[in-house]
Chains A and B, each alone.
Chain A
Amino acid sequence: MKYIDEYRDSSLVKPLVEKLKKSVTKPVRLMEVCGTHTMAIFRNGIRSILPAGMEIVSGPGCPVCVTSASHMDAFIAMAEIPGVRVAIFGDLFRVPGSHGSLANATARGALVEVVYSPMDALELARNNPEDTVVFLGVGFETTTPGIAATILAAYHEDIDNFCVFSTQKVIPGPLEALMQDPQLNINGLLCPGHVSAIIGAGAYQPFVDQGLACVVAGFEPADLVNGLILLAKQVGSNTPQVENIYPRVVSWDGNRRALAMVDQIFEPTDMEWRGLGVIENSGLAIREKYQKFDAQKRFDIELVPTEEPKGCLCGEILKGQTVPPQCPLFGSRCKPSTPVGPCMVSSEGTCAAYYKYGRDS
């Protein structure tokens, strides 16, 4: 496949791996912010080739994982309203709230449809005029523009039986809050590739000003290894800067057309994150002009504070404070087949990644 295969070519990756081995001149502790990077790093065996002195922890960039238990409960309550058909991205289906998951709700008769695109949810609304289709919006900057465009399409077509429950989140603010934690001791960020396609590499400049090395990288082996080399180099020479090694997809300023679409439909709001709590202006709510598409307003759903599952360390894992094998539930009570916390459910969750690829390392 064009633009993919050349970044997997072993004649390119092998010398990079050799360079990586020699790149660490002082201890480097990095965070990979994005869940898709977490999975790509495990799948390609990158953890097994990390040189001595280099450590990578996973960050809060798995959207399903940072969806709070109280939002999950509200999603399930929404699915159980008669006449409502909820549409979701597949990852959400088995995430436990405080009383079971959407999967359990379907067993009680709730209508839950897994869609690939928010536009598919709008199509469901067109095809099922007797139901109200509620798209459960979960995701970061990469996903939000498409949801905004779907709401705008519903507005232009005047589709009445469609709305969105927005828990859309933004990355830079919460990441900055997280980096204030002195215990974390991170000195470089592997910045997300596709979030950055929207917000631009320039969004990481504030982290550089705090002394953090920042490299925006793609998801193929050559992208990842090159990213780690450059981060080690920046840390080693104490020259933090934003380097963009994914220019085929990411520009400095980002995707202005997508940003304008998001700004037209959404406005900043305070948002609860699993593990991080409520963070000011870290979420997106639907603007008043489009409020008939706001599921929370239409159905008057309240968020009820909920306790995390007992013993589950997802919160600490999302903050990079611990790793899955340290969790007492990991691999025993909590497995992909019987997940307790969201990090084990999502295909991009850190616990799922450790379970699938990392138990021996």
Chain B
Amino acid sequence: MCLAVPMKVEKIEGDPDDFTQNQIAVVNMDGVSRKIRLDVVDRWPEVGDYVIVHAGFAIHSLIEEEAKKNIELIREMASHMPEELLLAGDDS
């Protein structure tokens, strides 16, 4: 139920500070476009950004730098074994 997926922003309507007007983005995932709401997104996105969408609302807008840092964190873990994890007699 807390499923949320990254979708690419194609178009934006509304003003981040005016909740009396609709705050809407058209997003695309795998070629399918749909309208979602931006009322509760943490950072107002720009066209081309990715947002994490849950139940029709963007809950987060991704920053390329954070995404890069994320995959690097995991790649580092995959390629490098911190010493304290090595078991006695393990020479891998």
Contact = CB atoms under 8 A, between A and B. Distances in A.
Contacts of A236: 84-85
Interface of B: 1-6, 8, 19-20, 22, 29-30, 37, 39-42, 50, 52, 54-57, 59-60, 62, 66-67, 69-71, 73-75, 77-79, 81-82, 84-87, 90, 92
Interface string A253-296: 00111100100000000000000000000000000000000000
Given A22-B90, A145-B39, A145-B59, 9 more contacts: A12-B74, A36-B3, A194-B2, A194-B54, A223-B74, A245-B70, A245-B74, A247-B66, A261-B39
A54 interface: no
Contacts of B29: 1
A195 B2 CA distance: 7
Contact of B59 (A194, A248, A347): A194
Interface stretch (A2-10, A180-188, A308-316): A2-10
Contacts of B84: 233, 236-237
B52 A197 contact: yes
Interface string A219-235: 10011001001100100
Contact of B40 (A120, A193, A258): A258
A22 B70 contact: no
A156 B84 CA distance: 57
A63 B75 CA distance: 33
Given A255-B42, A346-B1, A146 B56 contact: yes
A119 B56 contact: yes
